Structures are given as structure tokens and as C-alpha cells.
Structure 1
């Protein structure tokens, strides 16, 4: 199944108008976006887009409040109340809330304000974030990748005096996700909205994909010196066969595995950090995720900020169940976000086999590489059944069964 991806070539930086303009240029329906935005209980606003011929051929995007003179400061802590569950798809709503949280946390840190007191002059930033996330969802984009970003050097006159060309809040958010930068003396902008978007919905990892469409978002002007800027957006497909990065020459171990005809498949790995749920709830969550079809669920103790003990939840799932399990984590835990990535998995072939033991027939799990039997182990449930039926310690049953299974392996190897 093809995996739809976007690659953002940010040679002039990234701002919300540049990114939304590029989405319009590859086919995002302006009227559909307006309709979706109008359904939200947010201040009246207008979204427009125009064809541009400079600095490249593309589209511009503009979003503005209908009555800016009536705008009041937007208190970021109030955002969840503005977007209660049900107002947007959770795969749109949750990333938007996370972006707002990133802005609030970095602003609180840099301005030394309580996070509940952080505010921006108006709500336009939230409108941009919603429009961008909705636009990607409407285009059925699965993942976003981004080029290295320009770190403009120098300063400019801001509303409160001279400030760096690269906003401290934008840099702080992108440090958290290990963004890749290159320095430049040119006035290339990474805006607050652009940084928030990248910190939540984009990856700086290299990617292999086939390009199906290219769009450009533009700020009108002939060149960067007179305000002209652009961003290139490449839309493409990432299939399992093309997802692998170029590999070095195979090692002896890799060659052995290939000769053994080991199997490969793709899985989705979900992760989230929890620091405020009880062990009882986490135990029930594990059972529920497995019932929904997760291949594996693990909990790892960890330490978070302010020295809080926490738990890293990691779920391995079939790709087709990734979204369902991510939504379950969002619904049934206290987390505000779930990280996910698609990974290729190398598997040994396994099959159940019933063997005769001193306890009678028992089911064991046999592991193969190609046709070579590598190992086998008794199934826990079988050992527990025998222990109950014969009223003997489980450890004794397991040791006897394991010893007799090893005899099976040795005999099989001698035959080959």
C-alpha cells in the first residue's frame, strides 16, 4: 500500500502563508477549507489565495480576521476549551493542541511567565495552525519531511526593540526535535507558526520517495530583497520497497540472513510518555491494546522533567491498525500526543509444533531461518496447564520441557 508523503524544501525558510500557499498549489480546495474552518466556533476570518508568477510560479495564501480592530489577546491556555472534542477529527485536533502547547511552553520559558498567563496579540496564529493541519488531512498526507532550515544571522527592529531574525521561540521549539540548520546572512524567515508545525508534524530524517506533484507557496515579490519568498512542496508516494535508505555493502551476518530467506514486513511503532497514571490503569490499558490487535505492548520506566518518574509506552502494531491504536492511546490515557513511525522488521519464521514429552503431548514454538531449525521453546500456557493438572511447580515443568525441546533441536540438526 502506498504511503503519501510531503517533502518541504525550505530554501527561503517556512511560514504559514508559504506552506498554505503550497498546499493550494498542489490542489487543496480553498472552498472546502473555508467550509471546514467556518464550522468552528472561532472569530470570523477570511482565507484567500491567488496565483503568483514571482518569485516563482505558485500560489499565495492570506488569512486575516474580519474585524482585527476588535481582536483581543489570545490566552493559549484557553485553547482546549475553544476546540472541545468533536469539533475536529482527533487526528487534526490533537496535533493543533500540541502545537499550541509547544508555543506556550517555549514562551513561558523564555519570558519567565507562568504557562497559564502566556498570550499572543490575537488568535490568528491558532487559525493558521488549524488551516495547515486541516489542509494536510484533506490531501490525505500520511507523513511530512523537511529539508535543513536556514538560520538567518543578524537582527531586525521588532515591536519591542531589536530582535534576532530567527525568533527565540521558533529556535527553542525546533531544538526539541533536533532540527537541522545551516547559517545564512540572508533574511530567511522561520516563523512561530512554521516552527510549531515542524515541531509536531515533520521529520528531519532523510527520505526516499517518488515525486508525483510539486507546488510552490509564494509571498509576492521578485526577490528576497523586496519581500519575495517561496517554499517548494513535493508530494509523493513512499512504498515499503522505496522506504529503505541506501545500504552499505552487506556484512557477513546480513549475507547469512539473506541466504536463510528470513522474512521482512512493516510495522507501525507508537510511543508516548505518561507521568500521571496509576499502575492499575496502565495494566488495563495493556490488555485493551492487545485485544485491539497490537502485536506487542511494553512499558519502560523513565525520568521526565522536574525529576518525575514516568512510563514510556511503546506499541508495535500492524500498519493498518496504527491510527486506531493511536486514537485509543489518546482517548484512554492522559497523553496529549502520540509519536509514530513506520519501521521495517526482519523476522525469523516461527511455527507451533506438538511434541511428545514425559508429561504427554505439549505445544512448543519452533524458530527457523530458511529451512534451518534454530531454536524451540515450550509455550508458557502449556507448561502452566501441565503444572495445574499434575499439581507440580511450574518451574519444574518448564525445565523438563525445555530440556526435551533441546533434544529435539539437536536431533533435527544432526539430520541436516
Structure 2
């Protein structure tokens, strides 16, 4: 009965509050201890909690008390679209729910709900860095792999020459991805290279506002990005457009880049 009330109440509450998306912080796991259940004493974290939180970010806590119940784990895993830091948002309301358990360390046993309106950002500000070392791989395949990874949603890819163990030359393959796209990009790296393992971690980043524009040159129009900084605005043309125009008009590529720099004030475009 208690679990049914918790679940129905939580879902009804989110519905009445008009919540469209739930993002949860990583969940704390106790470093040990026991909890009494219908089947007797079982070790913490409870097996049901471990099963329910497969694929969910967790972190260890030295407290030897139950910090996430099976009901709480089920609600968090089912209702949350993602787990991580507080997303960009305009905060409107904050609420607290207090549990009856008294924590041994004296900290408040609280669940906090923060409600707000999401702030639209042009690019993901929390990204995943994926990398691996390659020392038995043909680098001639890199242009194909790089293009494929970018087509599949990678934000950036790079290949760096490195010196590996026993003096063997190798490469560091590094990829930047939106966490939502990371899984299939990892599979592509493992399928397309000789890598047998990957390292990955989540980082925060800051990006400048940018707008997609068109720049009219004496030889034709090229797409470009207008990038705004605190000090000025700069125009960066799209490489592929410049190459295509240079080949069509049989002119040096650097001449088009110079023309874009000179004519950066003559632009028309739309938000990217």
C-alpha cells in the first residue's frame, strides 16, 4: 500500500504541476550496512535498487544507511529523461519532501524538487569526451572514419600522433559528443578501428552565440557563421562552400577567404 501511494502520488503530482521533463541528479549509494525487508536482512544497496538503477549514474557514500529505496529508484529511473547536473533553466519554484528516517551523519533527509522553464541553448553545454589509443591501425582510414562519426552526430573529432609504450608510434583518437548520441558513436569507433576499449567522461563547456548567414562574394554566395564575442563579431566561412566555389571559378581558395573577411558586413541569414 505504501509503495502504491508513493508511486501514484508522485505521478499525479508531476501531472498537476505540469512537468514536461524530469532531470535527476546522480543517486547516492551507501558504502555498506543492512536493511530489514520481508525476506529478512539484506545488504545495502538493496539488490532491487541495483537492478532498477542499471544504466543510471550513481556515486558512493560512506553512510551505512539506505539512501535510495526500491520505490524511489523505480520512480527516478522511469520518470527521468536524463541524469546529471542542473540544466539551463529559469528557476520558478523549489519544494522539499522530508523522510522519516534520521541520517546518522546529521544531514537532512530531504528530496528537493526544482521547477523552472528550460533555457534554449544553441549547443549542448554538457558533453561527453570519448577517446582511445591506437597503435596497430592503418591511419589511411581516418578520413572515412572522421566523416562517418561527424555524420552520426559527433560534435568534433581529432587524431593526435603520440609515442606509446616500447617506443611504438600511435594515435590518440578523441571525440566530443552530446551524451544522447554517445552510445552509437562508441560502437562506431569499436567497429571501424582496431580499438578494443574506450575511455569516456562528461565535461562542461561554454560556446559563443553564432548565427548561420550567407556572404555574397564577387564569385558567388557562400555560407558562413557569424560568431559573437564580448568584444566583436567575426565571420567564419564554411570550408566546403569555399572549396566548391574555388573549383567552379578556378581561383585560389585563400582569395575567397579574403573576400569573405572584407565583405563580412554584407550578410543575410537566419538563426542557427
Q: TM-score, normalised by structure 1?
A: 0.40
Residue 241 of structure 1 pairs with residue 86 of structure 2: yes
Q: For residue 43 of structure 2, what is the aligned residue in structure 1?
A: 59
Residue 389 of structure 1 pairs with residue 244 of structure 2: no
Structure 2 unmatched runs, 5+: 1-21, 71-75, 89-120, 268-272
Match of 2:237 among 378, 393, 415: 378
* Distance (Å, rounded) in 2 between the aligned partners of 1:136 and 1:324: 25
Residue 318 of structure 1 pairs with residue 178 of structure 2: yes
Q: For residue 225 of structure 2, what is the aligned residue in structure 1?
A: 365
* Structure 1 residue 334: Cα displacement: 2.5
Cα contact 1:350–1:368 (8 A) shared by 2: yes
Residue 290 of structure 1 pairs with residue 150 of structure 2: yes
Structure 1 unmatched runs, 5+: 11-17, 28-49, 53-57, 62-131, 149-210, 216-234, 244-260, 410-416
Identify, as 1 or 2, the structure richer in helix.
1
* Distance (Å, rounded) in 2 between the aligned partners of 1:403 and 1:137: 61
Q: For residue 212 of structure 2, what is the aligned residue in structure 1?
A: 352
* Distance (Å, rounded) in 1 between the aligned partners of 2:226 and 2:206: 17
* Distance (Å, rounded) in 2 between the aligned partners of 1:304 and 1:7: 38
Identify, as 1 or 2, the structure richer in strand.
2
| CA root-mean-square deviation | 4.0
* Structure 1 residue 367: Cα displacement: 0.8
* Distance (Å, rounded) in 1 between the aligned partners of 2:201 and 2:174: 11
What is the aligned length? Answer: 199
Q: For residue 139 of structure 1, what is the aligned residue in structure 2?
A: 53
Match of 1:280 among 135, 140, 158: 140
* Structure 1 residue 270: Cα displacement: 1.2
Q: For residue 2 of structure 1, what is the aligned residue in structure 2?
A: 23
* Distance (Å, rounded) in 1 between the aligned partners of 2:67 and 2:266: 54
Q: For residue 227 of structure 1, what is the aligned residue in structure 2?
A: none
* Structure 1 residue 278: Cα displacement: 0.7
* Structure 1 residue 213: Cα displacement: 0.7
* Distance (Å, rounded) in 1 between the aligned partners of 2:24 and 2:134: 29
